[in-house]
């Protein structure tokens, strides 16, 4: 199937990649918020995945080293975003805690916020640097000038990511490790991002991305709990009250982690059905 999109390949690129470019632009050094960081980090990941998948259509090197530069700013965004996610997760668990846990939990929240300071400083510096402005311009140039006379075929773009996801799932043992499940999560994201490029050209892509999103959400909850447990275990020696609060929180996140260890399988079964594929 050849895509029938507004303006052909150029129109598809604007529809598929333009929103990510705007989210990247919106994250400015003078306006860094948890929301803009989150949106920009997702945008960098989606752009890197999309540019890689489109190499199957346009050829290797068509985007120059834009993906490498996106990895640079994505790394800076990730340091801040990871702290934001952890802070929100801790706050949510502490809402239902008793006074002893809650008071000491405030110390833990302060530590998360302190851990965020250095990554935030590095991000603000990076966003204000000419390197970031140049990156935004180069992404825009790639979107505005795709190679001419090339058809974008969904099967060529989406199939490699889909095959990678199937391989990752089939390679899992009956009781997969946290690392193995995280790898499946990454593969799910890539398949979803590939399909999202075709949301404007038919309903099939929307069905696929909805199902992939449910699987990604389940795996994301699992990974967030894994990260929280690892961080809390580093706080075990910070005093008896804080250690008690950290232990209480650790048990909560371990329970959430274990509950979500298999919860992705139902969404995977739905995603793996033949009618979910649109290419």
**pLDDT, tens digit (0-9, with 9 covering 90-100), for 134-151:** 999 999 999 988 887 788
Record the tokens describing residue 239, joined without a space: 């005093």
Record the tokens describing residue 263, joined without a space: 């919860």
Q: What is the pLDDT of residues 167-177, one digit of tens each?
A: 999 999 999 99
Say yes or no to pLDDT of 66 above 70: yes
> CA 11 to CA 146: how far, in whole Å?
10
Report percent pLDDT > 70 for the chain: 96
CATH superfamily placement of domain 8-276: CHAD domain (1.40.20.10)
> CA 40 to CA 83: how far, in whole Å?
15
Say yes or no to pLDDT of 221 above 80: yes
Say yes or no to pLDDT of 3 above 80: no
Helix axis angle, 66-94 relative to 240-259, nearest 10°? 110
Find how far residue 88's CA is from the centre of its chain. 17
Average pLDDT of the chain to the nearest whole number: 93
Of residues 64 and 184, the one with the higher pLDDT is 184
| Cα angle, residue 177 at apex, residues 113 and 221 outer, rounded to 5° | 45
Mean pLDDT calculated for residue range 243-268 = 95
pLDDT value of position 237: 67
Say yes or no to pLDDT of 38 above 90: yes
Say yes or no to pLDDT of 222 above 90: yes
> CA 129 to CA 158: how far, in whole Å?
35
Instruction: Tally Cβ neighbours within 10 Å of residue 258.
Output: 11
pLDDT value of position 5: 45
pLDDT value of position 152: 86
pLDDT value of position 148: 79
pLDDT-derived band at 10 (thresholds 50, 70, 90) equals confident
Q: What is the pLDDT of residues 83-128, one digit of tens each?
A: 999 999 999 999 989 999 999 999 999 999 999 999 999 999 999 9
């Amino acid at each position: 199937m050849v895509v029938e999109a507004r303006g052909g390949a150029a129109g598809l690129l604007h529809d598929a990649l333009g929103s990510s470019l705007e989210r990247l632009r919106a994250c400015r050094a003078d306006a860094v918020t948890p929301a803009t960081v989150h949106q920009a980090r997702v945008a960098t990941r989606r752009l890197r995945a999309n540019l890689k998948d489109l190499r199957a259509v346009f050829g290797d090197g068509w985007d120059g080293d834009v993906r490498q530069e996106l990895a640079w700013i994505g790394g800076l965004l990730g340091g801040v975003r990871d702290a934001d996610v952890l802070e929100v997760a801790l706050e949510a668990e502490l809402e239902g805690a008793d006074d002893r846990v809650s008071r000491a939990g405030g110390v833990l929240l302060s530590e998360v916020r302190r851990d965020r300071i250095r990554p935030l400083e590095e991000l603000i510096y990076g966003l204000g640097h000419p390197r970031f402005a140049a990156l935004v311009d180069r992404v825009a140039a790639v979107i505005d000038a795709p190679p001419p006379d090339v058809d974008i075929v969904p099967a060529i773009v989406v199939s490699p990511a889909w095959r990678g996801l199937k391989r990752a799932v089939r390679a899992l043992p009956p009781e997969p490790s946290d690392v193995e499940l995280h790898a499946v999560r990454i593969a799910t994201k890539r398949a979803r991002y590939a399909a999202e490029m075709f949301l404007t050209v038919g309903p099939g892509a929307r069905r696929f991305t909805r199902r992939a999103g449910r699987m990604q959400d389940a795996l994301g909850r699992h990974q967030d709990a894994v990260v929280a447990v690892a961080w809390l275990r580093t706080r075990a020696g910070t005093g008896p009250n804080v250690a008690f609060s950290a232990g209480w929180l650790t048990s909560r996140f371990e329970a959430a982690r274990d509950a979500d260890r298999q919860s992705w399988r139902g969404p995977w079964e739905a995603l793996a059905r033949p009618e979910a594929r649109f290419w």
